[in-house]
Structures are given as structure tokens and as C-alpha cells.
Structure 1
Amino acid sequence: MGHWYFLRARLIAIVGLVFLPLAPALAQSTAPAPVRAAVDEYGVDLFDGTYSAAGPALTMGGEDNGISYRRTNRGDGWSDSTIGYLQLDGNKMTVSIGGLSDTFTDEGGSYESTEWNGSTLTYSSGLYTYTRSDGTVAHFDETRFNEDAPYGNKGTITDMVMPDGTRLDYSYSSITYCKQSKPSASGYICLVTAKAYRLAKVTSSYGYELRPVYPYYEWFYDPFDAPVLPDFGTYRKVLGMTGHNLASDTNAAVRSQSFDVVYDAGSNWYTITDDLSRDTRYKMAGAAVAGIKLPGSTSEDISFTYTSGKVTAVTTPAGTTSYARSDSAGQRTVTVTHPLSRVETYVFDIASRRLKSYTDPVGKTTTYQYDGNGRVTRITAPEGNQVRYTYDSRGNVTEQRMVAKTAGSPPDIVTTAGYDSSCSNPVKCNSPNWTKDALGKQTDYTYDATHGGVLTVTGPAPSTGAARPQVRYSYSSYQAYYKHGSTSPTASGVPVYRMTQVSTCISGSSCTGTADEVKTTVSYGPQTSGTGNNLLPVSVTKQSGDGSLTATTAMSYDAVGNLVSVDGPLSGTADTTVVRYDALRRKVGTIGPDPDGGGALKNPAQRITYNTRGQVTLSEEGDTAGHYFTRHH
């Protein structure tokens, strides 16, 4: 991807009033991630010297309808991917969602993007609306924030809706406490109360739900005992995360992680325990990670050396990589020395944090230029050849031009794209209406105005006068069915659009309903109360337009969202393949179709064994009678 893409109780009495001091909190206690980060292969931000640790992921569902969670640490403590908030510092508003940030300038109630990336932020009646360039919308409640937390002073996220209707709802619990009181004859009288919030759950419109686990904490608000503060740290301390499928027969957790801090060998170790009781341990140096032990390790697999809070060395079994930084004339030079004395040099503009040049271990330098909005406009390779970029007002690349080191010889290689001139509909305005390749051949695109899904892709004619090939896509609105506090699944109330058909022509572009048409139709299961449905595809039918040829494959899933069986395209169950997974969603067994379809021969089977590091240590192949897994001892 190139170096461009390298791309963290004392009471004060004043005039008879008592103000309660702010206490640290785990929610929103870490700073927003930088909008622009230059992170290397070890997770070290080359510009600011912090290390970004990402814990093991907890996932449920499929690639396009699932939900995921992980803990992260950017050097200032642990945070959750479920956290979303707004932070206003001066006139800079930062949107932070799941560890990703975007920034805006507060222009007196209106907000202008500092990145010119097509995103917008608006405010109305206590609610902020953040819209990404792809049409994803997130809302933040201005009234819901933690006064005791250092970040999130303009509110927390309440929901996020993707263009296809997929929705995440964030629910919170709270306790009331007194933040300002005055003495009275009977003790104190509370004058001003506040609420402390913590995340209760994140629910997706597909029926998957994440629930934080907290320690038992009992708090009773007494307005006449006002100076007593809750223990915010205990109230918000996340001990674990559980994942639930509300569409399944049981509401028991189908995924889980737990978190703990243990003291061992003179150090505090932050421990993340996964579904198989494997521990990933992080050695802590204050709030930063100084070492990592992967599951099964007795010593550190990777360690970090800090000087003045910046990473100066990373040690792995392959050796030590060192980092040196120096600032001069508005530039930061970062020298990275790898094992075997391989040296790389990065030069950044300090004000913008943008990479200006990269010098590789053999001394060849690549340089980067930017426009006034901070978007890269030119990358110059060591020999002088360039890639130049042109943008529209929303940050979409409208031209990429590859220029030879001797300009014009050979001629420039140019690709272009066209977008809506203005953005009245965010779900589609930043998708290309057309693209042209280096030969000038054009591909055209149309989109659904409601959800932004592509409707047609019309390619260039294969020869002069020939019909332009076209692929057509159809969508339908569905609702997941899952339990809403009831004993039986009901409709989610949130329609989402799913692709239901893809159609193309064997030849030409006009073939609907004929034998020349090839259609693929996808079904997502029943829309029936009482039947759980996460809207995973349950069948795929391939057929000709006139229906003369038809083949259907059926799929089924477990409660986590793993594909556990595939039956088809032949009729009957003889051609079924079944798959078994462990608690980490790794494939551990497969039983294939009946070889002769008559039951005389055994089914081919495979069993996979992993070590504590997640590496395959044994793959066994054999056969078994039928599609039934037996426990292996």
C-alpha cells in the first residue's frame, strides 16, 4: 500500500457552598485518537511515539451484519470500541467513535470539517448529528455526559445508522449524585445534582447485543448527606464483555471476555481472558503498555522501552528496533533502526502531523505534497516519477495521474472519476457516477437513492459498436426478528436493505427474462413472529432468466453467526457439508458430502487442532459415517 498509508475528597468551601471535586472515571477517560496517525508494523505511532495496543476481538454475526468489540490502549489507559463521544476544546470539536476520530471547527454553532473528507456535523435541540461521507449517521445527546470524566464534554453517542438501515443503539444506566450543596441545620442541602452514566448495552438491528460486565456497586443518593460522592471508578470499571444473540432460543451469552489486573514479578499485568480461558497479558508502565505475553507464553513476546513517555525501542524475538526523534524548524525527524542496522527515516510537518518524506534503508527518498486542506496531491518516488491526485470539494479523488520521471515521456497514465457536484443525498453523493480507465474506457454506475446500494454497473463496450455489458442489483427491505424483553422473537422495527438479486447477460446488455440472463437470488429467511432471524443469507439460487436452469444452495448458522452447514445445489441432503467451530470461531472440523450419494461410502472429514498461540498444529483427514461430529478425546 506504500508508505503513505502508514497511515491514543477534598471539599472546597466557597461562600457556604460545597462543590464536589471531579474524580477520574474509566468511561471517556482516554483521549480521542489522532485523526491522522502514522502507525508502523509494531503499533508505534511514529509521529507522537505512543504505542497502540489492540486486544483480542470479540465478534458475532457475518461480515456485513455482525457486531464486534475490543479493548484498546494508546498509552493513556484502556478504552472500549463501544465508546463514542464528542469533545470540545476551544473551537475544535472532535467526534470519537470506537477509537476513530474526526474533527471540526466550531464556527459559532455551525461546524466546518478540518479534514475536508465529506463528513458533516450539525446541532439541533440538544442533539448533534454526525454524517460520514458514506451516509452513515451518528447521534450524540448533549445532555448525557459525565462531568467527572476528562473527555466527552459535549455528549455521548446514542445511535449510529448505516445507509442500508443497519442500526446500533447505545443504552446507558445512571446514578444521581450531588455536585453542589450547602450546610444546613440537619446536615447539608443539595442544590445541584448530576448523573454519572455508564454503558449498559449496544444492540444491533440484526439482533446481536454487547453487554459490559461491571462489579456489584450499590449507591444510594441522599440529598441530606450531599458531600458524599459515588466511587466513579468502581461504578464504571469494566470487568468483561458478553455477546448475546437475541434471536436465538436462549438469551445466554454466546461470546465473552473478562478483564483483570494481576500483580506478578514486580509489575501490574492487565489480563484479557477469552472464551477458551486463554490469557493475553499486558505489562503496564503506568497507563501505557510495556510488554505483551500472548496466550501460552511464559515470557514477554514483545516489549517496549519508553523515554519521557515516548517509545524508544521495541524488542521481539527478531531483535530490537529503536526510535529516535528530533524537532527542528517545524519538522519532526524520526529515525527507525531495525535489527541488522536497517535504517528508515520519516520527516513530518509538526503542525499538521503529515508525512513529508520517507527514506528507505538504501537511502532512497519518497516525498509527499498536500493541498491547503491537507490532502495528498503529489507523491514523488526516488527516481522522480510521480503520482498526482485531484479532488472535488468533498475529498473524492477525481483524477489520478501517473507522471514519468521525464514528464511526458512516456505519456501520463490518467484515470478519472465523476461525482455529484453537490451533496443533497449523502448515501450516494460520494460514490462515483462514472470512472474512466487509462485507455479512456468508461464504466457507469447508478445507485438507490434511499440506501445508496449500487443498482447498475455498465462497463465499456468490448469492441466498437458492441453492447455494453451490465450487472444489475436488486434489494429488498427486511427486519430481523429477535426478543425484545419478551419470550418470543418479534420484528425489530428497524427495516434494513439486503441485496436479493444480481443479474447479468451472457452476451449483450438486454436479456431480462431470457435464457441469456444469469440471475443469482438470495433469501434471508422468514419474516414471521416467533421465528428468530438475524438476516443471514439462508439460500442462494442461481438460474437462467427464463427459469429453465435452476440450482439452489441452502445455508444454516449457529447462534454466533458461524456458517455450520451448506446443502446443495443437488436435491436431498447427500451433498451437505457441515462445519464445526470452537468458541473463538475457528474452524475445527468439517464433514463433506456423501461421495456416491447413496450412503455406501463414508463422508470425507477433517479435524484441525490449534496450539495456545492460535497456530494450526495438526490437520487430520479421514472419513466418518454421516454428518455427525463425535467428541474427540
Structure 2
Amino acid sequence: MKTFAFWLISSTSALAFGIANAQVSLGQIPVIELAPDYQGVDANSGGYTSKFPFSLGSPASSRLQLTPSFNSRKLTNNLIAHLSDETFVYFGQDHTTRDITVVYNGKARFYSCVGVGACTQTNFNDGVILTRLTMRNSTASPYGDDSYQLRDKDGTIVSFFTPAYSPLPPCYDASSDCNAAWYNAYAFASEVKFPNGEKLTYEPTAFQEWDETNRLSVKVRSNLGYAIKFAYAWPAGSPYSTVPGSLWLRNYVGDDPDLKLTYLGPNGALGSIKTVRTKQNSQMVSAQTTDHIGRSFGLNFETKSVTLCSPGGFPASHTMVNKVTTPANRIINITYNPVMNAMSAMWEVTSVSKGGRTWNYTRQDPNRAGLTVTDPLGGKKTTGSLSEAIVMPGPGTGCFQPNVPTYTLYVIDEINRQTAVGYNMVSMSPSSLTLPENNGYRYVHDGRNNITGVYRKTKSASENLHMELGYDAICSHPLTCNNPNWIRDAKGLQTDYTYYSEHGGVKTVTAPANQNGLYLRIYSFYEAFDTGDGIIYRKIRTEVCGLNSAQLTLSACPSQPSTQVTLTTYWQKTFLPQVVTITDGAGSDSATTIYGYDDRGLVTSTNGPRTDVDDISYTTYDSVGRPIFDISADPDGSCQSNGQGCLKRQVVKHYYNDDNQETRTETGVGNSIDGSDFTWLTAKNMYFDSEGQLTKTEVVVP
């Protein structure tokens, strides 16, 4: 069961209103974005999160992008997706009803699963569905297995490995500390398949390898031809489980002493990061992460422990970052309240210091129900938050998982201006936005958490319809049912949408008729491309035309000069366009642009539409994907020397520090397409202080 409580918390949390993963542009929906944190401190919970400056992935690998972070409790990354079954029932109660926690896409969701079929969300209902496909028999052999599948609102399917079971001791009476659930279980994702056919596959079996140490490795593979390898240090000769998916379960804990991550492309390694953790007395005290060009990022930790839930009780231990050392050797120090906040079961940040400046975080009352941030100049900002608590039946009585402030209710800034947010208490989606002058918006959602109406609020509190959206009444096809069939503006003008059932991509967009009775229609056509590991769908043709009412049943635009056609072919297995041709419907005129890529899918050349001259521009990159040379097209179109001097290409060269800040930009000329004969003519130098803020810019010449 889930309950909610209102508390005052300081700092802010990001809010973005829109339809998640929609296949159409919903830019008309008003958006409010509140700063998600102050110097890494979460607006609501008061915990400190540190995102690593190193990541793995590139444009070519699309959804296969990895960014490590420390999330106030443990080291983790955005590719982690798993479920856990930590059901607790008393002796004599039904143990086949399971309480399941699913972590996917950076968010935890809680479900209650009764029998086989769709489970019920217990903390909120945001339209993400967990289904129990098969059910384990705990009392007699053959036991079988639980199996689950998660379906996101856009139709993305997450499948899981067979769970690893942890048997519980049998209960013989109704003793309060006996869990009669028979087992707990844990399962990692085995596959994530997106509506367009793109797929991430988590390898089931570990492989032994050797670099500077013995390792066990597994990969998460994209069917676009890329992979990220997780290689865990493993004592040579030590046994390891061959159960499919078992090695991925190490990510539950996130404290491997030595983990190397390698980004692999079709032609080999494209980068790597390695994290080495140091422990003392079983507690993590530091973690050093180094990328493949030798930059290092350091975290130092402190660990605090307490016993929650009394009588009975269970230990709670939190590891927290108290020092960050950036690759450019900038230091950030974090301090914490020595007393745990019993409401949130967290030791919360009291200060963050860097570059000689300090941000202080203080509670608003003796009960520590709120948090206020004071910046180095004395400005104060306060945020109200909505907390959520999950009742956890367990040892002892009245044992609750703490109320964790999660949702931003309002922000009062340094000059006392307030922005407030209301929530739908079923889905926990924003239901209203009130700006400092009392104007704002109200949002209406359907039962699947789709926005169906937006109302504009005036300063006098009156409301006017801003826009309406219509969806399928029944979600019989998950790939399309949560995309709007129509969007109607405040004047009643309606734009209609249709979709392909195979992948949910937009098929047609029809704007309202203009004064001449013509409807702007956009047709989109896709190819089904076989990657060798499943079919992906890529948009290869777009047609734009004006149609009269009698032509609205056409399956394509008329073949006439007024129709605009865009044709696209793609680079390798990716979604990156390689050749883009714009022409008219009669095929009488066309302009083609051709793109070249490196193995990461970074654009290395752009061949413009002119055919009479050489109009190719170039970009080079370093080994971590930062642009080094931007080289223009030949200004006189592949000049042939005729006694008059040929013009040189315009070239810009970039320099960076280890924190990826550009420190020098040189502008000059050269003839080569790789920058090897570059001569700089002017330069701009940028200087940063110990906090990483730009303090000085100067322009120099040779």
C-alpha cells in the first residue's frame, strides 16, 4: 500500500510536462522546468548525486548510451534494469501474491501481482504495465518459475531473465519475525525492445578474459552493431555461476572492486572507463574512475548506519560521497548532518564547497521536515515537496519504508517569487502549474496518464481551454494507443494523426484546412531493415502537399511539382542519415546532401547539394569524440591553379581541459581536409577558476 505526506523540502526537482515517448511533436504543450538540484544536491530528498564526466556511447548506437553515477546510495548506471521480489507475508497468508519492485529507465515502480496476468501498481499508476507470465509453485515439485514482462507506455517491452531465488526458512506459527513468502527472487533485464525495432540484449553467459587482471565479462548489445562490455575482476581459477543472467545481478550491489566498461563498435573498441573501488572494514571509502585517455575522476565516501523499525528492526547503512575530484583536479567537498532524518531515512547534505564558495543546506524546523539552500551570496531558495511512503509488512509493528520526498510542490526563489505544481494523486503526473503572478496551466489526464486537456489560467484565476488531445478509448494496440489521434487548439482547429501498427511511427499528419480549403498533409514511409538481429523501421520517404477534401483518402501525395519529397538512406545499421535528397513530386528538380561518419557515427564530412563545385566540409575528432578541426568547403570550389592563387579553407581548431571545457579556439586557414597544414591567424583563450567558472576571455594573434 502507498501513502503520501506533504513536507517542506528545499532545492528543486525537474518537471517537464508532455507525453513521454510520443511519436509526434507536442511542442505546443506548455513546459516548466525547475532546476533539478543545487550543486548536485537533490531538490527533494536532500541527497547528493554525482554523475561521472565519462560516458560510453555515440550517435551511431542510438539507445545504447551509458553514464555512470553515484545516486546517493550506490554506484550505478542508466542501463541497469531489474526486478526484485521481496514479498513478506505472515504465516497462513497467501504467499502467491507477490510484491515486485522494478527499476527501469532510472525509476522504481512497485507492483502487486496476483496470479498470472497484469499486476497492479501500488505507489502510482503511470500506465507502465508489469505482467506475470508464469507463476512459481512454491509448495510442490516441479516448482516452475515466475516470469515477468514490463511494457512501457510507448510499447517498449522489457523482458527479464529467469529469477534467482533465495529460499526463506519455513514458518511454523504466526511469529511476527517469520516471513512465510517461501522465497525472495531477483532478475535482471534480458532484453529491451523499442517500438522501432531497436533492441538491447543483455548477454546471458559470462566469458573469461584477461587484460591486466582476470575478468568475467558480459555485454549489452544493440542490434545496430554496437555493444558495451562489463568486465568484472575475478580471482583466477575461482568458480562462477553459469546460470543465464547471473553475473548481471552484481549490479544490484554496485560495489565491485574493479569494473571495466568498454564501448565496442563494428570495428573494435571505441573507448573504455575503469572504476577501482577501495574498501576498509567492508565499507567503500573511495572509487577512482579512469578513461582510455588517462583522465581520472575520484569519489571519496563515508558510511553511516542505523537500525530502523523497532521492535524487531533492520539495519540501514548508507554510503555517501563526501569528496569529488574532477578530471581537471577541481575539488568538491560535501558534508552531512550527523543525525539521520528518520522521516526519509537519509543523512542529508548540510554543505557543498568548491572553489572557495559554499552552499549550505538547513532544515526549516526542529522536526527536520524541510530543507533550505543558502548560496554563497546569501540568497535563499525553498522548495516544498510531496513525500511518498511504502508500507512494508515485516518484522515488528509499524515498520515503514521511510517517506522519501520525491515530487516538487513549489519553489520560492531568492526574491520570494513562488512557482507551484499540483499532482494527479493516482498517476503522480503534474496536474497544475501556477506561476509567480498566479497565472499558469491546468492539465487533465486520462486513465493511462495521457494529457487530454491543457487549460490556461489567468491572473484572476479564470480558465480558458488551451488545447485538447484525443486517444484510443481502449488500449488494444500499445504501440499506438498512447499517441494522440488528434490535437485541437484553443480556436477549435484540429490536426489529425495516424500511425503504422507495426512500429507506431507517424503515418500521416493532417493540418486543418486553410482559407482556400486545402489541408496540409504529411505522409511518412518506412523501410523494414534486417539488421541480422531483428527488423528495425527507418523513415525513408516524406511527402508534403496540399489536398482538398476529396483527396484526403489518398495514400500518397499527387506526383506534381507542388509536392515536396524528402528521400533518406541510412548509414550502415543505424538511424543516421547518409544521403538526403529533397525533390518535388514530379522529380524535375532535386538537391542531395551526403554525410560521412566515423565509427562512432560522428559526422566527418558534409557534401552539400551543389554539383558544380567541391562543397564538402569536414570535421575531425579526438578519441573521446570532441571536435578538433572544423574545416570549411573549398571557398573556390576545388580551385585549379591558373596563375592566380587559390583560396584556402577556413579552419577552426578546438582545445579542451580534462573537464571538457574549451580553453582555446583558434581560427585560421589550411588546404588539407584533416587540419595537418593548419595555420592559425587569431585565437581566443578561455580561463576558468577552481570552481570551473569562466573568469577571463582574451583574443590573441600570432
- TM-score, reference length from structure 1: 0.78
**Alpha-carbon offset, residue 268 of structure 1:** 4.6
Q: Secondary structure at the match of 1:402?
A: strand
1:560 and 1:376, CA in 2 relative to 1: closer, same or farther beyond 3 A?
closer
Q: Secondary structure at the match of 1:363?
A: coil
TM-align CA RMSD: 3.5
Q: Which residue of structure 2 aligns with residue 141 of structure 1? A: 161
* 1:479/1:535 contact within 8 Å kept: no
**Alpha-carbon offset, residue 500 of structure 1:** 0.8
Query: Following superposition of structure 1 onto structure 2, how do residues 163-312 of structure 1 map, counting pairs within 5 Å?
Result: 163-173=195-205, 200-220=218-238, 237-246=257-266, 248=267, 252-261=268-277, 268-286=285-303, 287-297=319-329, 299-301=330-332, 303-308=334-339, 309-312=347-350
* 1:521/1:542 contact within 8 Å kept: yes
> Partner letter of residue 120 of structure 2?
E
**Alpha-carbon offset, residue 494 of structure 1:** 0.9
Query: Following superposition of structure 1 onto structure 2, how do residues 404-423 of structure 1 map, counting pairs within 5 Å?
Result: 404-408=458-462, 412-423=464-475
Distance (whole Å) between structure 2 residues aligned to residue 60 and residue 152 of structure 1: 34
Tell me whether 1:80 sits opposite 2:120 in the alignment.
no
> Partner letter of residue 307 of structure 1?
P
Q: Which residue of structure 1 aligns with residue 578 of structure 2? A: 538
**Alpha-carbon offset, residue 625 of structure 1:** 2.2
1:576 and 1:123, CA in 2 relative to 1: closer, same or farther beyond 3 A?
same
**Alpha-carbon offset, residue 565 of structure 1:** 1.3
* 1:59/1:66 contact within 8 Å kept: no
Distance (whole Å) between structure 2 residues aligned to residue 199 and residue 425 of structure 1: 38
Find 2:190's aligned residue among 136, 158, 167: 158
**Alpha-carbon offset, residue 86 of structure 1:** 0.2
Tell me whether 1:613 sits opposite 2:620 in the alignment.
no
* 1:129/1:138 contact within 8 Å kept: yes
> Partner letter of residue 67 of structure 2?
R
Q: Which residue of structure 2 aligns with residue 25 of structure 1? A: none
Moved more, 95-104 or 559-568: 95-104
1:153 and 1:44, CA in 2 relative to 1: closer, same or farther beyond 3 A?
farther
Distance (whole Å) between structure 2 residues aligned to residue 350 and residue 222 of structure 1: 41
Moved more, 365-374 or 441-450: 365-374
Number of paired residues? 544
Find 1:594's aligned residue among 631, 634, 651: 634
Distance (whole Å) between structure 2 residues aligned to residue 590 and residue 38 of structure 1: 33
Moved more, 41-50 or 397-406: 41-50
Q: Which residue of structure 2 aligns with residue 131 of structure 1? A: 151
Q: Which residue of structure 1 aligns with residue 554 of structure 2? A: none
> Partner letter of residue 477 of structure 1?
A
1:338 and 1:396, CA in 2 relative to 1: closer, same or farther beyond 3 A?
same
Tell me whether 1:457 sits opposite 2:509 in the alignment.
yes
* 1:85/1:152 contact within 8 Å kept: no
1:292 and 1:6, CA in 2 relative to 1: closer, same or farther beyond 3 A?
farther
Moved more, 347-356 or 609-618: 347-356
**Alpha-carbon offset, residue 345 of structure 1:** 2.2
Tell me whether 1:377 sits opposite 2:431 in the alignment.
yes
**Alpha-carbon offset, residue 441 of structure 1:** 1.5
* 2:12/2:383 contact within 8 Å kept: no
Distance (whole Å) between structure 1 residues aligned to residue 651 and residue 434 of structure 2: 53
Q: What are the Cα deviations for residues 326-360 of structure 1, in whole angstroms up to 9, with x where unaligned?
A: 6799x932222222222222233433644344333
Tell me whether 1:334 sits opposite 2:371 in the alignment.
yes
Q: What are the Cα deviations for residues 475-502 of structure 1, in whole angstroms up to 9, with x where unaligned?
A: 111133xxxxxxxxxxx23110011112
* 2:652/2:667 contact within 8 Å kept: yes
Distance (whole Å) between structure 2 residues aligned to residue 365 and residue 328 of structure 1: 24
Q: Which residue of structure 2 aligns with residue 17 of structure 1? A: none
1:443 and 1:534, CA in 2 relative to 1: closer, same or farther beyond 3 A?
closer
1:355 and 1:262, CA in 2 relative to 1: closer, same or farther beyond 3 A?
closer
Q: What are the Cα deviations for residues 245-300 of structure 1, in whole angstroms up to 9, with x where unaligned?
A: 12x3xxx3111112224799xx9542221232111222222332112222222x51
Q: What are the Cα deviations for residues 449-477 of structure 1, in whole angstroms up to 9, with x where unaligned?
A: 110111111112333x5212122211111
**Alpha-carbon offset, residue 58 of structure 1:** 2.5
* 1:332/1:350 contact within 8 Å kept: no
Moved more, 534-543 or 85-94: 85-94
Find 1:120's aligned residue among 122, 129, 132: 129
Identity rate of aligned residues, in percent?
26
> Partner letter of residue 402 of structure 1?
R
Distance (whole Å) between structure 1 residues aligned to residue 511 and residue 617 of structure 2: 36
> Partner letter of residue 112 of structure 1?
T
Q: What are the Cα deviations for residues 589-620 of structure 1, in whole angstroms up to 9, with x where unaligned?
A: 12221212242333222211112232222222
* 1:504/1:518 contact within 8 Å kept: yes
Distance (whole Å) between structure 2 residues aligned to residue 129 and residue 380 of structure 1: 38
**Alpha-carbon offset, residue 446 of structure 1:** 0.9
Moved more, 470-479 or 370-379: 370-379
1:132 and 1:328, CA in 2 relative to 1: closer, same or farther beyond 3 A?
farther
1:413 and 1:157, CA in 2 relative to 1: closer, same or farther beyond 3 A?
same
Q: Which residue of structure 2 aligns with residue 560 of structure 1? A: 600
**Alpha-carbon offset, residue 136 of structure 1:** 0.7
Find 2:533's aligned residue among 457, 475, 493: 493
**Alpha-carbon offset, residue 307 of structure 1:** 3.2
Tell me whether 1:45 sits opposite 2:96 in the alignment.
no
**Which structure ranks higher in relative contact order (CA pairs < 8 Å, sequence separation ≥ 6)?**
2
Distance (whole Å) between structure 1 residues aligned to residue 662 and residue 668 of structure 2: 17
Tell me whether 1:398 sits opposite 2:398 in the alignment.
no
**Alpha-carbon offset, residue 145 of structure 1:** 6.7
Q: Which residue of structure 1 aligns with residue 354 of structure 2? A: 316
> Partner letter of residue 521 of structure 1?
L
Find 1:622's aligned residue among 668, 673, 677: 668
> Partner letter of residue 487 of structure 2?
T
**Alpha-carbon offset, residue 544 of structure 1:** 0.9
Tell me whether 1:550 sits opposite 2:550 in the alignment.
no
Find 1:62's aligned residue among 59, 79, 98: 59
* 1:215/1:235 contact within 8 Å kept: no
Distance (whole Å) between structure 2 residues aligned to residue 632 and residue 277 of structure 1: 27
1:212 and 1:517, CA in 2 relative to 1: closer, same or farther beyond 3 A?
same
1:377 and 1:263, CA in 2 relative to 1: closer, same or farther beyond 3 A?
closer
Distance (whole Å) between structure 1 residues aligned to residue 435 and residue 482 of structure 2: 29
Which structure 2 residue ranges, 5 or more long, are not aligned?
1-10, 17-33, 88-97, 135-145, 169-182, 208-214, 242-249, 304-318, 340-346, 390-404, 552-556, 640-645, 680-702
Which structure 1 residue ranges, 5 or more long, are not aligned?
8-36, 176-196, 224-231, 481-491, 526-531
1:351 and 1:260, CA in 2 relative to 1: closer, same or farther beyond 3 A?
closer
Tell me whether 1:360 sits opposite 2:413 in the alignment.
yes
Distance (whole Å) between structure 2 residues aligned to residue 145 and residue 566 of structure 1: 54
Distance (whole Å) between structure 1 residues aligned to residue 388 and residue 610 of structure 2: 63
**Alpha-carbon offset, residue 563 of structure 1:** 1.2
Q: Which residue of structure 1 aligns with residue 442 of structure 2? A: 388
Distance (whole Å) between structure 2 residues aligned to residue 438 and residue 222 of structure 1: 63
> Partner letter of residue 272 of structure 1?
T
**Alpha-carbon offset, residue 304 of structure 1:** 4.2
Query: Following superposition of structure 1 onto structure 2, how do residues 567-582 of structure 1 map, counting pairs within 5 Å?
Result: 567-571=607-611, 574-582=614-622
**Alpha-carbon offset, residue 67 of structure 1:** 1.9
Distance (whole Å) between structure 2 residues aligned to residue 147 and residue 70 of structure 1: 34
Q: Which residue of structure 1 aligns with residue 101 of structure 2? A: 94
* 2:13/2:43 contact within 8 Å kept: no
* 2:233/2:259 contact within 8 Å kept: yes
**Alpha-carbon offset, residue 96 of structure 1:** 1.1
* 2:620/2:674 contact within 8 Å kept: no
> Partner letter of residue 521 of structure 2?
Q
* 2:49/2:71 contact within 8 Å kept: yes
> Partner letter of residue 291 of structure 2?
D
> Partner letter of residue 130 of structure 1?
L
Distance (whole Å) between structure 2 residues aligned to residue 202 and residue 3 of structure 1: 34
Distance (whole Å) between structure 1 residues aligned to residue 492 and residue 565 of structure 2: 30
Distance (whole Å) between structure 2 residues aligned to residue 274 and residue 285 of structure 1: 24
Q: Which residue of structure 2 aligns with residue 473 of structure 1? A: 524
